Structure 1
Amino acid sequence: MASNGSSDYALFPQSMIPTSASSSLPEGYTLRPLRRSDYSRGFLTCLTDLTWIGDITESAFEERFDWMATKGKDWYYCIVVDDGSRIVATATMIVERKFIHDFTMVAHVEEVCVAASEQGKGLGLIVIQALNATAKNLGVGKLILDCSKENVKFYEKCGYSIAGQQMELKYTN
């Protein structure tokens, strides 16, 4: 989705997230797509409860957001929970279009995070269910994710099952 001259816009249309996905949110919380302005609403601060982020400036965040919204359009779906003043939960889905299995689409779930101060409110389940429903509406054939052993039971509650092993090859840049 292009900005259409506006300095703030969503990564994808709100209408792609089923309204039912918001039904169990605490009062005053909103489930929505990531917005270009979410740097100032603490999006990266929320992610620091998941992993190391690095020193990312607002302009660098906006540049990456703009790339995802234009060149990565229809690939990147980042959903956030906003408590009215800051981002308190997030999850991202990257859609891969394949040649195999009759041109199926596979979605990779990434960067699932709930701010430490907000854990225990069911927000992780809500963002995963929102991604699951969005993927189904897009026609995705399956969703996959990698998680630690400690998080397996959580993802099983979300409908996922163990399906193999993860491998990696790391590069140092």
Structure 2
Amino acid sequence: MSPNSAFSAKLISPDVQARLPKGYVVRPLALDDFHKGYLDTLSHLTTVGTLTEAQYAERFRYLQAHNTTYFPIVIEHVAKRHIVAAGTIFVERKFVHANGLVGHIEDIVSHREARGLHLGQSIIEQLKHIGAQTGCYKVILDCSEKNVPFYEKCGFTRKEVEMAWYIDEAPRAKL
């Protein structure tokens, strides 16, 4: 594994890569993606906040140190050196299903300038591939009602109900 990579590139599917438009590459998140607009792309999904390069590097190193749990991926427009899509799967270790593993897909986003290229579907397919390669017995995600048709096209089925409890923006304990 490269010291610049969040996890081993061996988990990247050649089939997913082959389906991308010319000039785009799917790969693990890299340390230098801070300078390639990774946080800007995430801001097309939700609030990111103002992170310094040092704060980004600290979180990156944490994910990298736990590279059997966290698998953040990006799609880069190579010529522009710009991150245009991203997503993460993290693997939860359970006692149920004989110490089974569950993949949780999070933070799926395509940059506004790359919409219509079906990069979101490529991100999902790559994350499902990682889930299968790491031994997960299922891969799950939460989404808004308006995104249900997209995820159904990606092979997911509606199941259960999502619930959330948000904690105030007041100072929070950090691990």
TM-score between both structures, scaled by the size of structure 2:
0.92
Question: How far off its partner does 1:118 sit?
Answer: 0.6
State percent identity of aligned pairs.
Answer: 35
Q: Which residue is 2:49 aligned to?
A: 54
Going from structure 1 to structure 2, the CA distance change for 1:139 and 1:11 (only over 3 Å counts) comes to same
Is 1:27 paired with 2:22?
Answer: yes
C-alpha deviations, 1:85-140, integer Å up to 9, x for none?
A: 10000010010010111111001100000001111101000010011111111111
Report the Cα distance in structure 2 between the residues aligned to 1:2 and 1:82, rounded to whole angstroms.
17
Code of the aligned partner of 1:65: F
Q: CA RMSD in A?
A: 1.1
Is residue 2–residue 69 contact of structure 1 (8 Å, CA) maintained in 2? no
Query: Which contiguous aligned blocks of 4+ residues in structure 1 show a shift greater than 6 angstroms?
Result: none
Query: How many residues are paired up?
Result: 167
Aligned partner letter, 1:78: P
Residues 1:116 and 2:112 aligned together: yes
1:41 to partner: Cα distance: 0.4
TM-score by length of 1: 0.93
CA distance in 2, matches of 1:119, 1:168: 28
CA contact (8 A) 2:41 2:83 kept: yes
